[in-house]
Amino acid sequence: MNTATRLGVYALGLAVVFGGALGAGRAIGPAGTPLPAEDHSAMAPAEEAAEGHGDDHGGTTQQAAGDTPGGLQVSDKGYTLNPLTTVKAGEPTDFRFTVTGVDGKPVTGYEVEHEKELHFIVVSRDLATFQHLHPTRAADGVWTTKLTLDEPGAYRAFADFVPAGGSGLTLGTDLLVAGDYEPKPLTEVSRTAEVDGYTVSLDGDLVPGRSSKLTLSVSKDGKPVTDLQPYLEAYGHLVALRAGDLAYLHVHPDGTPGDGKTAAGPEIVFYAEVPSAGDYRLFLDFQHEGKVRTADFTARAGAGQPRPTAEPSAGASHDDDHTH
Ligand SMILES: [Cu+2]
């Protein structure tokens, strides 16, 4: 179904994360600095598991104390996300925003994570659409990105970044687009996604409170893809969002291109930590033949109650799931 949004997505890529920062970031941290233990800690048990593999994410993006998942707050640790632009349905917009610091002024100092100072993710609140954008920052701290929200409704925007000298944060804010809005039911749980002729399969389970291994395998025309291209310092970037509140999850890629042990497909491995049972939407960005594509899945952690899905009549056919 979608269109423009989708395009946007393809244009970018990212990684995921949970506690905080953005995906690319958090999840995406650049190079391998192991995260401090407290960083991951929202769930202690998870950490151990995560540490074993966590080598590549820069980690800085996570929240320190683990109490609250990232992305749920518009303001955290003295930093606040401030949208400056209203978006109208279907109109390409130069969307502007700032992140202000404790002094109330726009932040102009950022650490680079996965090649970018800030990763900006925009999803519809029904989790049907996803865009991963990389805004540009003016010297005064105002960020700008092209943004098109095709349909009216409620959206959630996440800024995933690491302020200079600080630790990673993911701030979230709602973007409301006027007009008649028809929410889509959550896509059904599935281990396979199709996008642009590629099939991506998901192996592994999300386990509440624990780091769990997720393996995504990319194939095209029935053949495994073994020449994925590095994109933002990884072969894939995964963003995981919890259905219901859009908590932004922490996902660490396992291995980095060029480390001598990470293959360029078909498998891309991540370690994800989810805080609770329930349904999550996973958005995988990967690059092949010069283009970034996004595969999306709905995965259920633990024995959570399924969220209501489509009413029988709702037209929520699977065919259109990959709409972002
Ligand atoms: Cu990004």
State pLDDT tens for residues 277-303: 999 999 999 999 999 999 999 999 987
Q: Could you check whether 75-177 and 192-301 share the same CATH topology?
A: yes
User: pTM for the whole thing?
Assistant: 0.76
- Is 72:174 a contact under the CB 8 Å cutoff? no
301's tokens: 């952690």
Output the CA 71–ligand 1 centroid distance in Å.
15
Q: How far is the CA of 210 from the centre of ligand 1 (A)?
A: 25
Please give the distance, rounded to the nearest whole angstrom, from the Cα atom of residue 75 to the centre of ligand 1.
20
Summarize pLDDT for 48-85 with one digit per residue, the tens. Answer: 333 434 333 333 333 334 578 999 999 999 999 999 99
Mean pLDDT calculated for residue range 269-274 = 93
Residue 18 clears pLDDT 60, i.e. is over it: no
CA of 15 to the centre of ligand 1 (A): 7
CATH level 2 (architecture), domain 192-301? Sandwich (2.60)
Which are the contacts of 287, defined by CB distance < 8 A and separation ≥ 6? 13, 228, 229, 230, 231, 235, 293
Q: How much is the pLDDT for 252?
A: 77
C-beta atoms surrounding 133 within 10 Å = 21
Three-state secondary structure along 144-196? EEEECCCCCEEEEEEEEEEECCCCCEEEEEEEEECCCCCCCCCCCCCCEEEEC
- CATH fold of 75-177: Immunoglobulin-like (2.60.40)
How far, in Å, CA of 222 to CA of 216, rounded?
15
Q: What is the pLDDT of residue 308?
A: 60
Q: What are phi and psi of 306, to 5 degrees?
A: -60, 140
Rg of the chain over all Cα atoms, to the nearest angstrom: 18
Q: Where are the domains of the chain?
A: 75-177, 192-301
Task: Determine the distance separating the centroid of ligand 1 and the alpha carbon of 207, expressed in angstroms.
Answer: 25
Question: CB of 114 within 8 A of CB of 85?
Answer: no
Q: What is the whole-number distance in angstroms between the Cα of residue 311 and the centre of ligand 1?
A: 34
